[in-house]
Amino acid sequence: MKCPPWPKGKKLVHLDLKGAPPRVEYLHKLIELFSQLGVDGLLVEYEDMFPYDGELKLLQATAQPAYSREEVLSMQEFARSKGMEVIPLVQTFGHMEFVLKHRPMWGLREVAHCVGTLNPHKEEGVRLVMEMLRQVVEQHPGLNTLHIGADEVYMLSEGEESKLWLASPGRTVEQLFLSHVAKVAEAIKKAWPHMTIIMWDDMMRGMSQDTLKASGLVELVQPMLWDYTPNLDVDRTVSLLEKYCSAGMSELWVASSFKGSTSVYTCVPSTQRHVENHLQWLKVAASLSAGINLKGIAITGWQRYDHLSVLCELMPVALPSLAACLQTLLHGQLSAEAQSTVTEKLGISSVEVEVMERRSAVDSLFPGRRLAELIVELNILLNSEDIRFFENNMIVRGWFSPYQRQRKMVTPLITMQIHSQASTYLATLQQKAEAVREEMVRLYPESTAQEWIEEHVSPVMAPLQRIREDIIACVKEMVP
């Protein structure tokens, strides 16, 4: 079904750097591609890759070096030279795992066992947030838009100070949330009066129009409503946006997704799934009243669900999805024309990365294409039933069961065949994994390649290695 094309406003691509931070040369290649695909700006979530200094130096990543000040500036300058704005995203309430995981910051948590949520009652918490923002703003000359996060503020109201605060008549958890965000937003406006402030909307979805009107946020922030599902509820989303508008927040953003929202450990994205999410957003945009000023859409590409979760799909395997989503917004559908624009621009035969084939030897149009191909090949192997369920195949279950292993009473002839098969699979996996690692370290830090291999390859190889070792031990007991 064809919708009207995306109406107006900026198309931002979200760069989530809290996992698999691209090497700077690769980052520049990505920005170059984004500009060719019609992207207007970057929503950059640095987290621990930002070069915080002074008392905040402990926030910098240790698995690999954070970007240097020069690198952060060069990324912005390069993006600007391509006509793209850079908007930093700095979490200020929820999802502060990268800050609150550090022992000196433990006392600033809302509750001890929730690493993500800041205690809104402590003045040093607001001071910390403002110092983070100050360093980020200073590192972005000419900055006029800032995203302050504020999504998924888990366990808010569970801390002792919150319980005390809520004991006063008439106080609610909604007010507790709003008062902290308003305090941060007011401090930002005082420091940088020209600054536009964006925030995630999810904590405000259940709030009434009157609560929002009375929150003090109306003139301060622009909500960004996010939904990454292929079956996004259009009517509900439209009514949410209309509610924000009626409460006085008429300048609104929305957020879709091109990767990192299928499951927490997805390795290869489905373009179709993400295109369907964008088709739903087109229906939303077409249904909004004239009073809503839709400032733009952020096409998110999560690299982790949060700072302490595993890696989602890497950028190279998701570029066909991103290109297809942008074309969908442009055409109002993923038409044959839109698909052929994607495949020609990226030099591939299909918008689905799992079945794409090269159309040319030129790699310049699709930075990271070789890594995408290798990941797809390895992923197919890792998910093949022969390898994944090797211990369940008939021969293994019949001649090398846990019972037989434990008693070391086996048929050497057949167990050696099992050993040979396991060895063949292991050699193939090792060879493919090594090719992936070699290519990955060209685009990402060594730590990313290590994490990716340990996350996706090692758990599949471990049972095969165990079987081989057990067979050798058993055969020693049976053969002179």
pLDDT at 410: 84
Q: Catalytic site residues?
A: 152
Task: Look up residue 343 and give its amino acid.
Answer: T
Q: For residue 84, what pLDDT is reported?
A: 97
pLDDT in tens, 160-178: 999 999 999 999 999 999 9
Cβ-based burial of 235 (10 A; exposed 0-12, middle 13-18, buried ≥19): exposed
pLDDT at residue 135, rounded to an integer: 98
Nearest 5°: the CA angle 113, 204, 194 is 100
Is the pLDDT at 365 greater than 80? The verdict is no
Sign, CA torsion 52/54/55/61: positive
- Exposed/middle/buried for residue 216 (C-beta within 10 Å: 0-12, 13-18, 19+): middle
Q: Which 8-state DSSP code applies to residue 21?
A: P
Over its C-alpha atoms, the chain yields an Rg (Å, rounded) of 25
Task: Name the token pair of 97.
Answer: 């795992």
Q: Would you state the structure tokens that stand for residue 148, as one six-digit string?
A: 């302050």
Cβ(375)–Cβ(268) under 8 Å?
yes
Round to whole Å and give the CA distance between 255 and 12.
Answer: 9
42 strand-pairing partners = 13, 86
Q: Are 332 and 44 in contact, with CB atoms under 8 Å apart?
A: no
pLDDT band at 130 (very low <50, low <70, confident <90, very high): very high
Tokens of 459: 């758990």
241 burial type by CB count under 10 A (0-12 exposed, 13-18 middle, 19+ buried): buried
Q: Which residue has the tokens 């211990």?
A: 391
What H or E segment, with its residue span, contains residue 75? helix 69-81
Q: What is the mean pLDDT of residues 284-300?
A: 95
Query: Can you spell out the DSSP letters for 160-176?
Result: HHHHHHHTSTT--HHHH
Tell me the pLDDT band of 298, cut-offs 50, 70 and 90: very high
**Cα–Cα distance between 215 and 428 in angstroms, integer?**
60
User: What is 10-364's CATH topology?
Assistant: TIM Barrel (3.20.20)
pTM: 0.95
Query: In this model, does residue 257 exceed pLDDT 90?
Result: yes
364: pLDDT strictly greater than 80: no
Q: State CA 68 to chain mean position distance.
A: 22
Q: 3-class DSSP state for residue 86?
A: strand
Rounded CA separation 127/376 (Å): 46
Q: Is the pLDDT of residue 245 over 80?
A: yes
Distance of alpha carbon 463 from alpha carbon 12, whole angstroms: 43
For residue 268, the number of C-alpha atoms closer than 13 Å in the C-beta half-sphere is: 19
pLDDT of residue 478: 81
Which H or E element spans position 98?
helix 97-100
Query: 104-124: per-residue pLDDT in tens?
Result: 999 999 999 999 999 999 999
For the chain, which residues make up each domain, given as ranges? 10-364, 377-478
pLDDT at 355: 86
